[in-house]
Homo-oligomer: A and B are copies of this chain.
Amino acid sequence: MQVTKVALVGMGTVGAGVARLLIDHGDRTGRHAGRILWVEEVVVADPKKARDYALPKTVTLSDDLSRITNNPEIKIVAHLVGGLEPARTIMLKLLESGKDVVTANKALLAEHGPEIFDRARELGRAIAFDAAVAGGIPIITNISQCFSANQILSLRGILNGTSNFIVSQMDEQGETYAEALKEAQQRGYAEADPTMDVSGADAAQKLAILAHLAFGAQVHWNDIPRVGIDTLDAADLHYARELNYRIKLIAVAKLRDSGLELHVTPNLVKIGTPLAEVRLAYNAISVVGDAVGSIFFHGLGAGQMPTASAVVADMIDMAVGRTPITFRTVELWSKSEARVQQCDHSALPSRFYIRLTVEDRPGVLAEVTGVLGKHQISIASVIQHEPSEEDGGQSIVPLVIMTAQATEGATQKAMAEIGKLTSVRPNAVRMRVLD
């Protein structure tokens, strides 16, 4: 059987999984690629570090990237280095030495996609990155290949497993945010510094990549409006459930007449709908195409073997020649103009969930609803329970309002104004309700 020599840069959790699949399960690769993907070199920062997978003696483990870049027999490299540097420099060196590259580094693509993809095109090389978004769910291949006859109308996804795990634990186990975060860290779902995950930044990076593929948008991930789950209060999970919703961190890209709607925010999602039922560290994506209709994907968005599964599938596609074709025909991050512009966030319509803490005395509800009315915001429903707390001798009550369709801008302005009412305490909450 034909042999294609490959190499790995980086052998952390995912790298060890990739090595295991290529080396221990070479028969699969043989069956699907019609050739063996032979691991020739593994390059890591510290070759002495203990690894999750014991490489056979046929593989050289070193910290010397030139063993790959100077070896013309190595055709394909799995680039499994996180962060921006030295990941970017390594990526460029690999391309410049004639390698096709498979990567799982979404931050690198979201930050330096245009530079890296342009360089790959100049050099006649290809890059594959299905592992960079939603781990084991092959959403990149499905969007760039399987739905190519469609105008994609919308993407809605749970793209950050860490956040979803934390919210699930808060919702189902009654844990506080701090407890759920700690459990996520103990299980290896969350980093010591969880900021990228819980702030929505990680999901925004993935959304920027998907929006580029599906809509031809060229939006920097940091320009996508985002709210994380790090300020989520267990009380809102409780009230949401009372209204028959769960709260999920949802990434949305939706084509509107005015442009592309893009945001990552906690949303109330109706119980019983597919996205509401995504639990623990799972990811899910709902794609609507004008021909195919609604297609829903659910699977593990991270973890060693799901991510390795995506990396090795990309390596096989690269070896047999499918990825180079896709890379040439789909003009990724090219210098051509964006096909769609991000639309004005403040004009976006949605239903909203609003929770206020108000003084329990006559006239307060009228004051609050008066402000909403002034901003043309209709109320769909209100929950007001018995007073349960006191604050400075004044008994206070939670007031939960579901609005009819209103705009981001109008609700923001109304909230600012409501915040100034003397009868309203300063911990107001406003969240989108998913259509």
Give A contacts to B, CB under 8 Å: 17, 21, 25, 28-29, 31-34, 130, 136-138, 141-142, 144-151, 272, 274, 277, 289-300, 303, 305-306, 308-313, 316-317, 320-322, 325-326, 328-330
Q: Which of B141, B312, B322 contacts A325 (CB 8 A)?
A: B322
Q: With A291-B17, A329-B320 known to touch, is A32 a contact of B148 (CB < 8 Å)?
A: yes
- A293, A316, A321: which has the most chain B beta carbons within 10 Å? A293
- A151, A291, A299, A329: which has the most chain B beta carbons within 10 Å? A291
List residues of chain B with CB within 8 A of the CB of A272. Answer: 277
How many angstroms between the C-alpha atoms of A310 and B34 in the bound complex? 26
Q: Which of B34, B151, B303, B326 contacts A329 (CB 8 A)?
A: B34
User: Are B316 and A149 in contact, with the CB atoms below 8 A?
Assistant: yes
Q: Which of B150, B277, B309, B311 contacts A309 (CB 8 A)?
A: B150
- Chain B's closest residue to A308 (CB) is B291
User: Are A149 and B21 in contact, with the CB atoms below 8 A?
Assistant: yes
Q: Which of B28, B141, B299 contacts A149 (CB 8 A)?
A: B28
User: Are A309 and B322 in contact, with the CB atoms below 8 A?
Assistant: no
CB<8 Å pairs between A and B, sample of 13: A32-B145, A34-B328, A138-B147, A145-B313, A147-B309, A147-B313, A274-B298, A289-B309, A292-B300, A293-B303, A293-B306, A296-B299, A321-B325
- Chain B's closest residue to A330 (CB) is B32
Copies of the chain in the assembly: 2
- Chain B's closest residue to A150 (CB) is B309
- Chain B's closest residue to A272 (CB) is B277
Chain A interface mostly: helix
User: Are B299 and A295 in contact, with the CB atoms below 8 A?
Assistant: yes
Q: Which of B146, B289, B298, B312 contacts A295 (CB 8 A)?
A: B298
Q: With A147-B313, A149-B21, A149-B309 known to touch, is A295 a contact of B136 (CB < 8 Å)?
A: yes
User: Are A291 and B309 in contact, with the CB atoms below 8 A?
Assistant: yes
Q: Which of B136, B151, B312 contacts A293 (CB 8 A)?
A: B136
List residues of chain B with CB within 8 A of the CB of A317. Answer: 145
- Chain B's closest residue to A312 (CB) is B149
How many angstroms between the C-alpha atoms of A328 and B322 in the bound complex? 12
How many angstroms between the C-alpha atoms of A29 and B293 in the bound complex? 18
How many angstroms between the C-alpha atoms of A142 and B310 in the bound complex? 11
List residues of chain B with CB within 8 A of the CB of A326. Answer: 320, 322
List residues of chain B with CB within 8 A of the CB of A311. Answer: 149
List residues of chain B with CB within 8 A of the CB of A151. Answer: 25, 28
How many angstroms between the C-alpha atoms of A73 and B164 in the bound complex? 53
User: Are A33 and B328 in contact, with the CB atoms below 8 A?
Assistant: no
User: Are B293 and A296 in contact, with the CB atoms below 8 A?
Assistant: no
Q: With A295-B299, A297-B295 known to touch, is A142 a contact of B145 (CB < 8 Å)?
A: no
Q: Which of B31, B142, B296 contacts A138 (CB 8 A)?
A: B142
- Chain B's closest residue to A130 (CB) is B146
How many angstroms between the C-alpha atoms of A312 and B146 in the bound complex? 9
List residues of chain B with CB within 8 A of the CB of A138. Answer: 142, 146-147
What's the nearest-Cβ distance from chain B to residue A286, in Å?
A: 9
User: Are B148 and A313 in contact, with the CB atoms below 8 A?
Assistant: yes
User: Are A292 and B136 in contact, with the CB atoms below 8 A?
Assistant: yes
List residues of chain B with CB within 8 A of the CB of A147. Answer: 138, 309, 313
- Chain B's closest residue to A149 (CB) is B312
Knowing that A295-B299, A321-B321 touch, tell me 9 more A-B residue pairs with CB under 8 angstroms. A29-B149, A141-B141, A147-B309, A149-B308, A149-B309, A149-B316, A274-B274, A289-B309, A293-B306
